[in-house]
Structure 1
Amino acid sequence: MGFVSTFVGILGFCIGLPIGLAAGFFFFIYSKPKDVEEQVVTPLQEFDTDTLLSVLPDIPNWVKSPDYERVDWLNSFVSDMWPYLDKAICNTIRSTAKPMFADYIGKYQIKDIDFENLSLGTLPPTFYGMKVYETNEKQLVLEPAIRWAGNPNIVLAVKLMSAKIRVQLVDVQVFANPRIHLKPLVPTFPCFASIVVSLMEQPHVDFGLKVLGGDVMSIPGLYRLVQETIKKQVASLYHWPQSLEIPILDTSIVAVQKPVGILHVKVIRAMKLLKMDLLGTSDPYVKLRLSGVKRPSKKTSVKKRNLNPEWNEDFKLIVKDPETQVLELQVYDWDKFGGDDKLGMQVVPLNQLTPHEAKVFTLDLLKSFDVNDSPDKKPRGQLVVELTFDPFKLESESFAAPGDEMMSKQNSLSKSLSNASITSEGGALLVSVISAKDVEGEHHTNPYAQIVFRGEKKKTMESLGFVEITLADVVNNGRLNEKYNLINSKNGIIHVELEWQTV
C-alpha cells in the first residue's frame, strides 16, 4: 500500500504541475486588474504658487533662462569619464591635503592624519546648463550650473594619542554656479594656459558627518554652525572677485613675449678704423639691432673719408628680454658701386645694464664671432657707445587699479592735457590686429591690415575699409581691446588690441 500511495503522489505532482502553470498563465494574461488607477497628470498652469516655487529649483537652467545652453553631451561625457575623473580628483585632494595635515601633526596630541578611504563614489555631477560669454579678450568664459548628489566614500583617520578616530563624510550635496575662465588662449594644446574659477554666488553644500558610527550633524545647532562656517570660508577664498587659478601650461613657453622696455643707444664715435679706400680712408657707418628681433636694423649716417668718425646719433630699440638679448653693433665701409665692406663688429649683453642708468662702452671691434675663424691679429679700431635701458612701468604704476575711482579720475585728467604732452615721454604702442569679418570688395583672396603711425606704415599681408584711432585714446585708457566698424565698408568689422606702455 505504501508503494501505491507514493506512486500516485508522484503521478499527481507530475500531472498537476503543468496544469497549474497553464491555468495561472492564462489567468495572468486574460485577467484585468481592478485596483490599478490611471495616474493623474496635472498641467503646469494649474499648480498653485507654493507648489511651483517648490518645483522651480529642480528645473534645469536651460529651461528657465535662454542664456543657458543644454549640455546633455557634457553629462554623457562626464558620466563615461567619471571613474577616471574620480581617481584624478582624489589624487589631487590627497596631494593638496598632505601638507595641511602635516601642520597639525604634533599639535593637540595628534600623531597622524590621513585618508583611510577616499572615493567620490559612482554618481557623477550633473550639468543643468551652460552659459558662454563672448569677450574681446584672449580667453573663454563659461558659467555652468552644477549639481552633485553623490555617494562618496571618504573616511579620515585621526590618530589621537593611542586611539584612532574615524570621521566619515556621507550624503554629500553640492549645488554651485561657478564662472570658469580658460585663459590665455594659446596655439598649444589644450589651447589655454590656465583655468581660473570663481563662485558667482554662495554654493549650497549639505552633508552628513559620522564620528565613531554616530551622525554628529544631528546634534542641535551644530548643523547650522557648520553650514555658516563653510559658506564664510568658501566666500573668502573663491567668491567673486576672489578666484582659484589652476595652471595648465608653462606661460613662459606659450606666451608671446611683449616689450618690457626701451633701449636708448647713442653711437658716439669710432677710433682707428681700418683703411679700406685707395686714399687710405674709409666711409664708415654703424648698423645696430637687438638679437631676437626680426624688424630691420637701424644705422647711422655715413662719414666720408674718416678713420676716426664722430656720429653722436641717438636710437631707440624695443626690448623684450633684457636677460638674454644682446645689442649687435656692426661697422661698415660704404661703397657706392659694390657691396659694403665690414670693418668690425661687437655685441653688448643687456644684462650688463642697470635700469635707468647710462653706461658708456668702449668696444674693441672684432672680425667675427665664429670660433672657427682664425684669430684676427690686425687691430680693427674701437667703437664708443652710450646705452641706457628704461623698463616700462608696471600697469599698476601707470594706470589706476580697478575700483580706485579717485586715482582713475586723476590719471585720466593728467593724461588728457594734450597729445604733445602725452607723447613727450618714452613709450611703446603695442598693436595686435586680431581679426576682421564681413568685409566686402572685388577680391577677397588676400585681405590685409595696414597700420599707419606718423608716416610709418606696417601691414599684415587688399584694403577693404579703414578705422582711425587716436593715440590719446589709447594712452588715456592704457589699453583698448575693441571691435570697430570699418569706414568705407557696409558691414566690415575689425578687432584690434592696442596697449600703451611708458618708461
Structure 2
Amino acid sequence: MDGKNEKEIQPINWPYMSLASLSTSFAAKLAAVGIIWGWGYMNLSLAWLIAPVVLSVWRKERKKDQELKRLMAQATVLCKEKDIIVSRLDELPSWVYFPDFDRAEWLNKILYKVWPSVNHFVRDLFKQSIQPAIVQSLAEYKMKGFQFERLVLGRIPPKIYGIKAYDKNTSRHEVIFDLDILYAGDCDISFTVGNFKGGIKDFQIRGVMRIVMKPLIPVMPLVGGIQAFFLNNPAIDFNLVGAADVLDFPGFNEILRKTITQQLAARLVLPNKIVVPLTADVPLETLKMPEPEGVLRIHVVQGKHLMKKDIGVLGKGKSDPYAIISIGAQEFRTKTIDNTVDPKWDFWCEAVIYSINSQEVELTVWDWDSNIPGIRFDDFLGRATIEISRVKKMGTLDTWVSLELVKHGMVHLRLSWFQLSNQISDLPAALKETQQLRVTSMSTAVLILYIDSAKNLPCIRGNKQPDVYLEACIGGKTERTVTILRSCDPVWEQGFTFLVANPETGSMNFQIMDEKTGTTVGTMSYNISTLMGRPNLELKQEPFDLEEAGGESKLIISMVLKILKYEPPSSTSDDEDYPNLSDSGQKIERQESTISNMSSSIPPSPLKKQPSKESLQSVGSIASVPGTANISTGPEVPNPIDEEPLIVENAFSEVSASPNLVHRHTSFTSSEGDAKLGRLQLTLQYSEPRQKLYIHVHKIANLPLPQNDPHNIPDPYVKLYLLPDKNKETKRKTAVMKDNCNPVFDEKFEYIVSQGDINSKTLEISVCTQKGWLSSGNNIMGQIHIDLSEIDFSQSVTTWFDLLPEIKD
C-alpha cells in the first residue's frame, strides 16, 4: 500500500473541563477557605491543620504524576517506532534489546483495523466472566450491587513492541509465540456500586502475552483454536473517576482498585486462559483442559539484613516482615515475623507450572502495618525473580537472592522441580520423599479435572429450572465453575488442577448448587484410588450418577492423575550458568589448589586495558587505570592465595551466595593497600540477557585504627552508588559490623543497566563507619571508583581493591 494513502492516527483532542467539574472544583476550594476561616474565627491552633494540608498536597502531586505517566503511555502507543527510538530511549521496543524478538509494525496496523470489532468480544467477556467475580469479591467487604453499565474500549488499539515465535521444544501440532504488548487506551467504562456511580478512564496494561494456536488440522482453518494468556502478572493501572474520585474515600477507592485489578489478572494470567475455538471438529476439551508441565516446590527459609521501616520512640526500629510468592495467578504468603530484620519463615508451598519457558517466580517482601481490612498500607522491602527454567535445569536450587528496588536485603530460597509421570510405580518414591520432609502440606500427585456438563438435573422452586454452578473439592481446596442460568442441562466446559497429598486415600467431592436459593441440586464423591487402576491413570468423558438428584441425573467429567517425580539433571553442559552447590564447591577448591601452585605468577587483571611491562616490574601494584581503583599485587605478601585475584565463572549464580562457600575462597589478606586504608574484596559480573550488573561485597581486610584514638574500633559498612546518578535509587548499603577491622559482609547487590549504558557508568564504593572518623563530620574511611567501561565482563571477576582516600565531589 502507498504510504500516502495510509490513514494516520490523529492526536487526541482532550476536552475542556465540564461545568460539573468546574462546580466541584469551586465547591472544594470554597469549603477549604471556609474551614480555615472558621478555624481562625474560633481561635484554634493552626498547627492542627498542617497534617491535613500536607496530606492533601501530597495526594494532589501524586495524582499529577500518575496522570502524566498515563498520558505519556498513550502518546507512546500513538507514536511510530521511529519516533519512540529517537525521543523515548527508556521505552524502547523489545526487539531493540532482545534479538529473538521481531518487529511487529505490520501487526499493529492490522490491530488498528480490527480494533472496533474487538469491543463486542470484550463487552461479553466483562459481562459474563469478570462482573460476577467482582460482585463476589466485593461481597466480602459488604459492598453490593456492582454492575457494569457502559463498556467502550475507545479508538486507541494495543501497541505490540515485539513478537517472538518458538520453533524449539514445542509440539509439532501447535504454534506458540509471545507478544510484548502495551494497551494504553482511551476507554470509557462506567459502573455502579449500590447508590454510587463511578467509571474507569485511561486503563493501561503492559506485559508479555502468549498466543498458542492448536491443534493444527489438515483442513481449513488449519488451526483448531487459539489460547491467549499472560505468563506472569502484567502491570495494570487505571484512573477511577466519577463518585469514586469526587468522594475520594481511601477505603472505597482502594477496595475497588484492588478488586478490579485482581479479577482482571485472574482471568488473563496462567492458569487462566482466553480460549477461542475456530472449528467444531475439535472438541473443546482439547483446548480447555489444563496441561501442567510440572510442580515447583518452594521453601522460603529466611531473610537477612532487610530494611528497617517501623518508627519507634527512639527512632527507626525494625520491621515486621512477611513474603509473598507469586507464580502467574497463584499466590502464597508466609507468616509475619514481628520486630526483626533477619526473619526465619521456614515456609513451604507448591505451585503447578503450566509453562516452564519464560514464567518466573516473583518474591516480594513487605513490612506489615496495621491496616484497614482489605487495604494494604504495608511498606515495601524489596522484590526478586527467579526463572523457572533455571530450576528445571538444575533440579534443585538453593540460593540467597538479593532484593531489588531497595538498598539492601537478601532472602534464602530452596526450590525443587518435579516432572509429571503417568506411571503408578513412581508413587512410592514420592510418598517417601514427603514423609522425609515432615511437612504435611506437601503433595505427591496432580489431579487434572475437566468438568464437561450435567444432564437431567431436577427442577426446584415450583418446577423452575435452577441457576446452577458446580464446586469440586479435594484436600481443603475448592474450585467453582461459572453459573449457568435457568438450565437443567448445564454445559460448563471448564478445567481445574488439584494437588493431591496421597492418591491412595484421597477423594474428590462434587456438589451442584442453585445460586439463588443455596440448595443442593446433586452431589457425588469419587475415590482417586479408583483412577489408579485405569490405563495411563485417566478417564475421559464418563457419566456418573448424582446423589440427591434422582436416578437419571448425570455428571460428565474427565480426569487425569499425574505422579510427581524428581529426576536430577542428566547433563551438566547446559547448566554451567547455574551450578550445584557441591559441584561448585569442588570447582572452587580445584581453583584454590591451582592458584596455590602459582606463587610466583602475576595475577590477571579484570581490566580490559592490560598494564605495561614497566608496571608489572614495579613493586606494589598493577598500574592503575584512570577512574578505577588500584589492584595491589605486591610480591611481599606471604600467601599467594590472599593476593591472587580469583577468577570465578558465574560468581553470581546461586552458589556464590552461600556464606560457607564464599569463605573458603576469600581468606584474609595481610596487605593494608597502597594508601594504608585497607582492602575490599568484590565480585563483579554483568548479565547481558537480564540487563543486570551484579556486585558481591565479600569482605574488608585490615582497616586502620585512628592514630589519635587506637582503642576506637570502627563499626564499618559499605555504601554503593552507580554514578553519575548519585541518588536514592542507586544507593545500596550493607549491614553494619560492630567493632571490627576485618568485617565479612557476603552481601549481593543488583543494578538494572542496559547494555548500551554499562560503559558510561562508574561504581562508587565507600567504606564508612558509624563512629566518628578523623573528624566529627566525616565517616568515610576509604573509597574506590570503578570505571565499568574498563572492566572485562566476559566472565565474572573476584578480586581485591585498595581503599583510597575519599574523592570530594
Structure-2-length-normalised TM-score: 0.27
Identify the structure with bigger relative contact order (alpha carbons < 8 Å, sequence gap 6+).
Answer: 1
* TM-score (norm: length of structure 1): 0.42
Q: Which has the greater radius of gyration?
A: 1
